[in-house]
Structure 1
Amino acid sequence: MGGQPESAVRRLRDGMADGVLSFPLTSFHPDGSLDVEGFRTYVAGQLAAGPGALFPACGTGEFFSLAEDEYRQVVTVAVEEAGVGVPPREGARARGRVPVVAGVGYGWAQAARFARVAEEAGADALLVLPHYLVAAPQDGLVAQLEQLAARTSLPLIAYQRGQVTYTAASLTRIARIPGVVGLKDGHSDLDRLQRLTLAAPDGFLFFNGAATAEIQARAYATVGVPAYSSAVHAFAPEIADAFFAALRGGDHDAVDKLLRDFYVPLVELRDRVPGYAVSLVKAAARLRGRPVGPVRAPLTDPSPADLADLRTLLAAGLDLVGASL
């Protein structure tokens, strides 16, 4: 691994220790077309909240719905805005530009095309989203990363979720692939995850990528995975940062209150309709005046009744941390 990837991984590791990981929404106009300037404004707001890293065009960013040229624009804007620079959050170390980790996915050939686009746009690393449709044996999962790693100079973070699950033996193999530097876990199987962390070499990155990761953040930390992504950061960084500070500061009363009065009700609302893990987040951002627009099919925007419940819950959550809608 060359000097530039090493620098990117070091900044990513530092960022994961200092703040939540931001997975920005992708902005669309009402007609469904890409809203580049809306996305620029939105990303600038995300960065101002001081995330540990920025992950554009991933699951929350509706990677699956983006054309290649749209993907290029999204990643380019994220890199440009991250390059502007923002002061670190209080208590966080100064660590330079926030690292930008772009999503890639589908089969390795398509992922490699998106990887070239992300590299040209200036991304620091790639998150390899679960492949499309088919279940695959462990040898195939390893080969998928080998094929992609051979076609990009950017560091890769594997994402196990859905039909992708690595064994400890496979984790050992993928950690030896030049350029594979970490794993995002979305399964929440802590027994399996503990086996993976024990099998990994020193310095291998792990982070909690469960849906509404804060719910399980304490449990993940017990198996050596304290870093996590936050969908809530996409619409209420005030709440996400308050939870992060309470968790890292050992304020269990504050953690429990936020979980009980905001995060658990949010998960219950999210679970009403498939796809709300993205569309509910986007609706909450719109409620706060963020220029993100609607979701693209096959996702659907929340019903009026669910939107009303979301507004009430969001106002209550912001009130818990002294912020307003």
Structure 2
Amino acid sequence: MEFDGILFFPLTPFDADGRLDAGALERHVASGLDHGAGGVFAACGTGEIHALSAAEHARAVGTAVSAVRGAVPVIAGAGGSVATAVEQAAAAREQGADGILLLPPYLVSGPQSGLVDYIRTVTEAVDLPAIVYQRSTMVLTPATAAETAALPGVVGIKDGVGDVDRMARIVAEVRRVHGEGFTFFNGLPTAEVTVPAYAAVGVPLYSSAAFAFAPEVATAFYRAFHAGDPLAERLLEVFYRPLVALRDRAPGYAVSLIKAGARLRGAEVGGVRPPFTDPTEAETAELAAILEAGLTAVKEAGSA
């Protein structure tokens, strides 16, 4: 499975009655494609998979597949209990997704052998390529990562831990055992801040939550970073680092602020579901100022 460009994790819009708004989701995904997304990861973390029913999950994935129309890969979230992960993976396959992002087991921890069994059970049950999301209760050692990479259904690892030393050793061990044909990407919240560090250890791909509400900024950063343009550092200074500081004020703001930003841009995405909370009016005003600073920096760079 090949990805080229920013990996887009769309929000899951809810209407005024709190129901999934498929029309708004289709427009949201289409907008991401218009801005050059290299892959669409539907009903994942930014898409509030934890808060979706089985029917809503399937509908969100199906809506994304319909909106994309084969232009880029569509990856669906799956995870939680092993039975739930299998059910979500099967639904993703039925809806036409190209693969799954396998999230960690719910709540409980297990030994490394148990993590491999969890991944194996899901990927053997559903014939669909899987990217393993390393975070929370599913953190792999380099040896376990290599064992995981050998499973027939596994095509990649997304890192949400942020331990660059561990990731460097994982990449080296997987490459040593399996060669170059395996995908890694940086899946930290506001991943742009850590792109240089991850690129240095062989992980150039990254997911961009900011792309869901500021695709102009996210795309400009992506191009500037790869071109060695000073604009990349400028955007880190005026947009990404302030966004991280605001995000760190409350658990769940990695999603809540993205939805608030999308609403500021006129998207009909609604609020977040519990236990997440929406930002306050004052925090939304701060977010608006951060957004304006980012858009202004992009505009000024384009006119220079």
The corresponding residue for 2:54 is 68
Runs of 4+ in 1 over 4 A off after TM superposition: none
1:272 aligned counterpart, secondary structure: coil
Deviation string 1:9-66 (CA, Å, 9 cap, x unpaired) is 1xxx2x2xx3110000001012211111111111111111111100000000000111
Q: TM-score, normalised by structure 1?
A: 0.89
Q: 2:92 aligns with which of 107, 112, 118?
A: 118
Alignment partners' CA distance in 2, 1:32 and 1:157: 30
Aligned-residue offset at 1:283: 0.2
Deviation string 1:119-159 (CA, Å, 9 cap, x unpaired) is 00000000001211011110110000110011111001001
The corresponding residue for 2:162 is 188
The range that moved more, 193-202 or 117-126, is 193-202
Alignment partners' CA distance in 1, 2:54 and 2:109: 25
Q: 1:233 aligns with which of 208, 211, 224?
A: 211
The corresponding residue for 2:251 is 274
Q: TM-score, normalised by structure 2?
A: 0.95
Instruction: Check whether the contact 1:58–1:103 (CA below 8 A) recurs between aligned residues.
Output: yes
Q: 1:222 aligns with which of 197, 200, 209?
A: 200
The corresponding residue for 2:22 is 36
Deviation string 1:196-246 (CA, Å, 9 cap, x unpaired) is 111112211000001100000011000000000000101010000000000
Q: 1:246 aligns with which of 216, 221, 224?
A: 224
Instruction: Check whether the contact 1:41–1:291 (CA below 8 A) recurs between aligned residues.
Output: no
The corresponding residue for 2:149 is 175
1:150 aligned counterpart, secondary structure: helix
Gaps of 5+ in 1: 1-8, 86-96
Alignment partners' CA distance in 2, 1:318 and 1:42: 19
Instruction: Check whether the contact 1:38–1:292 (CA below 8 A) recurs between aligned residues.
Output: yes
Please show how residues 95-110 of structure 1 align to structure 2 within 5 Å. 97-110=71-84
**Within the alignment, does 1:160 sit opposite 2:108 as a pair?**
no
Aligned-CA RMSD value: 1.0
2:42 aligned counterpart, secondary structure: coil
Q: 2:274 aligns with which of 297, 300, 303?
A: 297
Instruction: Check whether the contact 1:157–1:184 (CA below 8 A) recurs between aligned residues.
Output: yes
Q: 1:204 aligns with which of 175, 178, 182?
A: 182
Deviation string 1:292-319 (CA, Å, 9 cap, x unpaired) is 1111111111111101111111111111
Alignment partners' CA distance in 2, 1:257 and 1:117: 42
**Within the alignment, does 1:51 sit opposite 2:37 as a pair?**
yes
Gaps of 5+ in 2: none
Aligned-residue offset at 1:275: 0.8
The corresponding residue for 2:105 is 131
Instruction: Check whether the contact 1:168–1:195 (CA below 8 A) recurs between aligned residues.
Output: yes
Alignment partners' CA distance in 2, 1:231 and 1:22: 7
Aligned-residue offset at 1:163: 2.0
Would you say how many aligned residue pairs link Structure 1 and Structure 2? 296
Alignment partners' CA distance in 1, 2:155 and 2:264: 37
Deviation string 1:165-222 (CA, Å, 9 cap, x unpaired) is 1011101111111110100001111111011111112211000001100000011000
The corresponding residue for 1:5 is none
1:322 aligned counterpart, secondary structure: helix
Instruction: Give the AA of the match of 1:270.
Output: R
Alignment partners' CA distance in 2, 1:211 and 1:40: 23
Instruction: Check whether the contact 1:30–1:294 (CA below 8 A) recurs between aligned residues.
Output: no
Alignment partners' CA distance in 2, 1:254 and 1:55: 27
Q: 1:308 aligns with which of 281, 285, 298?
A: 285
Aligned-residue offset at 1:78: 0.5
